Amino acid sequence: MMRTTTSVKKKRFFLPYKVHFFAETKDTLEYLIGKLNGKHQQLKLIPYYNNFKGRIFNYDDNTFISEGILLYDGKNIEITELPVKLWTSDYKEFLEELVESKDSLFKNYQNLSSDTEVKFILKVETDKLETVKKLLEIVDENGLNQLYKMLKLYKTIKVSNLTLYDSKGSIKTYSNVSEIINEFYEFRLEWIKTKR
């Protein structure tokens, strides 16, 4: 069977950041299939950003932390991923200020980033190697690393006060992702029943 398309022009828009979904598709599907089968399960979805290589973890009920990636070889720090919604150009400005500051741990930095990949190399001052190593080992009570904090490789993601169109086409504020998925489930279930 051949598909035909109409020549209606659709307006397209592009967001200036990577579009994210609130979970990997398989997690959402497993939850919805379980709900269809009458299983009452806890919905624990972690935000998912396409092509993001860093880590996202739960901080509290409505907050997640996005973490970049750094590698330390004893002399240099290589940053290969920035937290979600932190632009490479903004980070470059931050590094310039950091390197130029009076008590900087770093001699200089190189920006080897491309359009699709992040890569910054920070050269550590010879007399500051131990300080950087110690910062890498210190973790606070929330599980956040001090070196990552200093290099701004953490960024928060809030999942409260989510405003979307509801199933009736009205703007509605949801307090969490579960409310959105449950409303979609109910709406879709009714829609499927009318099609049978």
**pTM attached to this predicted model:** 0.75
Closest CA to 113 of 84, 80, 85: 80
- Under CATH, to which class is 67-154 assigned? alpha beta
**Low-confidence residues of the chain: pLDDT under 70:** 1-24
Alpha-carbon span 102 to 130, nearest angstrom:
18
Q: What residue spans in the chain does CATH classification 3.30.1360.40 cover? A: 67-154
Burial 94-111 (b: 16+ CB within 10 A, else e): ebeebeeeeeebbeebee
How far, in Å, are 32, 37, 94, 158, 187 from residue 194 at the CA level?
A: 19, 20, 56, 36, 11
Alpha-carbon span 57 to 60, nearest angstrom:
9
Alpha-carbon span 136 to 70, nearest angstrom:
10
Give the per-residue pLDDT at 193.
Answer: 83
